[in-house]
A and B are shown apart, each in its own frame.
Chain A
Amino acid sequence: MGVTKRSPREAYAKALIKLGEERNDVVVLDADLSTSTQTAKFGARFPDRFFNMGIAEANMMATASGLALSGKTVFASTFAVFATSRAYDQVRVAVAYAMANVKIVATHGGVTVGEDGATHHAIEDIALMRVMPNMRVLASCDYESTYNLVLRIAEESGPFYLRLTRVSLPDIYPQGERFEIGGGKLLKEGRDVTIIAEGPLVHEVLTAASMLENIGISAEVIDSYSIKPLPEELILDSVSKTKKVITAEDHSIIGGLGGAVAELLSEKMPCPLKRLGVRDTFCCSGEAYALLRHLGLDSEGIAREVKNFLDKF
């Protein structure tokens, strides 16, 4: 298939440079991963407004707060594991509790980090950030969604956690697509089941949905790029029609997108739900898409799970 794959990290760097050109208040911090997260590109262009904090994520997050409280719009970047579990207390007290204007843009979300293995797979980051008051949680699924979400959160005051993948992802959205905070995108209409996905699994789910179409299963697909706040109305509208739900995420099935959807449905519209993701276990080293296959989170695995799920009814 001739799908164009592009790097979300490059989209991030491009958006940062655009912001840097337009706004003097934009400042970027990194913790010795800037050539990987791509914030180094901002640093090369705006050296005065780029601070490498060294391998000290806790320091970076609280320092970001101090800059924000002095009027800056601060982007702080590192890998998702370090941005969340490593620096949790600093994000909680200095950023979230203080309502500081800090945008945590974390690359390397999920098991699609790949070969580096379980220490570097962020499979709890969405859950950790989601439970924190004042924190809004977003996940991009391709180049354009990354670029536009970065621009979007810069317009909005207060804390955000935006999760990017390490891997390049197939294009889903056209240039200039607008993403509202708390929104989601209905990517495919269907009748039999609603599949809600985030990040790299959005494309896998779309592929799975066309496979399912061939065997007579009509799946509706939602990209829930906003995980907190969740696009409740969009989800409930879809579920009121399909009555069955699957969630798919590059994250633990506990506390992330699946958890958020389960909380919503159990209160507002109880119905059968199946959560696909990492099943409360540490994963292992391997090529990113080999790992998704290993976990049954590639398009074929997802299609199989959806069919098994629907067979029960």
Chain B
Amino acid sequence: MSEITKDLVQNLESIAKQVRRDIIKMTGIAGSGHPGGSLSAVEILVSLYFARLKHNPMDPHWPERDRFVLSKGHAAPALYSVLSLCGYFPRDELWTLRKVGSRLQGHPSRLDTPGVEASAGSLGIGFAIAQGMAMAGKLDRKDYRVFVLLGDGEIQEGMVWEVAMSASNYHLDNFTAILDYNGLQLDGFIHDVMSPFPIASKWRAFGWEVFEVDGHDFYQLLEAFNEVERVRESPSIIIAHTVKGKGISFMENNNEFHGKAPTPEQVKLALMELGEVV
């Protein structure tokens, strides 16, 4: 359990701002990518990597480490930024995203990028891979925890509910999902495309312990990460209410930026909003 101090949260907030700047620049330079769903996941990833996960960037395969799997793999820019800030690879590599020869693939690839635990991005798959890691942890009586980030559109995939059933069946209390509940998917609002409502009671019905937080509030996120430690015999899910495109006025709740990079002009505007002198 980590103590949630004001200093810690202030530090995380400044890291989050840096991650947002990275996401804008990376996707801007690449000319493609998924900025909206990367920006909604920033506080979740920053709080995990800088305040919650046991991990060691100098030894990415340390057997005792906690695992994190980005099942909504299209948020890869957010993950890469966080990994580079942790020191898994040089910051310069961020600007090679999606280019031929880069270690930073469009979607996470474990064989390419130091710190990436699983290859994922075809939705639903990372969730089951993470489950397998949690099962191995139980089998080996290790006390690491496995976290996985799901998109809210992703839970339309049938296999998500196969995993929901089996993780509960196997009492994986070392397994925590976080739902990036930003309400939008490529084609529009999730409830217009294919309603997954009611969300919380579905997970409860599958035997999961459910927590709901503001996914941009570090106090609430860190508190929830402490809470999941206390759950016994069931997996847990933190439903994180987020805003797609969070932090950039013209990207917020605008699903145009689900899978489209900002133009050079938009990059400039966004960086100004994020306090960078260009």
Contact = CB atoms under 8 A, between A and B. Distances in A.
B135 A90 contact: no
A98 B118 contact: yes
A49 B170 CA distance: 13
B166 A70 contact: no
Contacts of B8: none
A309 interface: no
B243 interface: no
Interface residues of A, number: 29
A89 B165 contact: no
B165 A54 contact: yes
Interface in A91-113: 92-94, 97-99
A93 B120 contact: yes
Nearest to A96: B119
B119 A66 contact: no
A56 B162 contact: yes
Contacts of A51: 135, 170
A48 B162 contact: no
Given A27-B139, A70-B136, A94 B119 contact: yes
Say whether chain A's binding surface is mostly helix, strand, loop, or mixed: helix
Contacts of A98: 110-111, 118-119, 129
A254 interface: no
Interface string A132-169: 00000000000000000000000000000000000000
A94 B137 contact: no
A68 interface: yes
Interface string A62-95: 1111111111100000000000000001101110
A63 B129 contact: yes
Contacts of B139: 27, 48-49, 67, 72
B122 A93 contact: yes
A64 B130 CA distance: 10
A68 B135 CA distance: 11
A66 B110 CA distance: 12
A68 B169 CA distance: 20
A70 B170 CA distance: 17
A56 B166 contact: yes
B133 interface: yes
B129 A53 contact: no
A98 B130 CA distance: 13
Given A51-B135, A97-B109, A58 B159 contact: yes
B129 A65 contact: yes
Contact of B136 (A53, A67, A92, A93): A67
Contacts of A94: 118-120, 125, 128-129
Contacts of B127: 62
A70 B132 contact: yes
A59 interface: yes
Given A51-B135, A72-B136, A90-B159, A66 B166 contact: no
Interface string B116-155: 0111111011111111111111011000000000000000
B94 interface: no
B117 A56 contact: no
B117 A69 contact: yes
B138 to A, nearest CB: 9
Nearest to A49: B139
Contacts of B136: 66-67, 70-72
B132 A63 contact: yes
Interface in A168-204: none
A65 B111 contact: no
Contacts of B120: 93-94
Contacts of A67: 132-133, 135-136, 139
B162 A66 contact: no
B121 A66 contact: no
A49 B109 CA distance: 28
A66 B159 contact: no
A98 B112 CA distance: 10
Nearest to B111: A99
Contact of B166 (A48, A63, A69, A72): A63
A97 B119 CA distance: 7
Contacts of B159: 56, 58-59, 62, 90
A93 B63 CA distance: 23
B111 A90 contact: no
Nearest to B132: A66
Given A54-B169, A62-B131, A69-B129, 14 more contacts: A53-B166, A54-B165, A59-B166, A62-B126, A62-B159, A63-B128, A64-B132, A66-B132, A66-B133, A66-B136, A69-B117, A72-B139, A89-B125, A90-B125
8 contacts: A56-B165, A58-B128, A63-B163, A66-B130, A66-B134, A66-B135, A67-B133, A90-B128
Interface of B: 63, 109-111, 117-122, 124-137, 139-140, 158-159, 162-163, 165-166, 169-170
Which 6 A/B pairs are nearest by Cβ-Cβ distance?
A66-B132, A62-B128, A70-B136, A59-B162, A56-B162, A63-B132
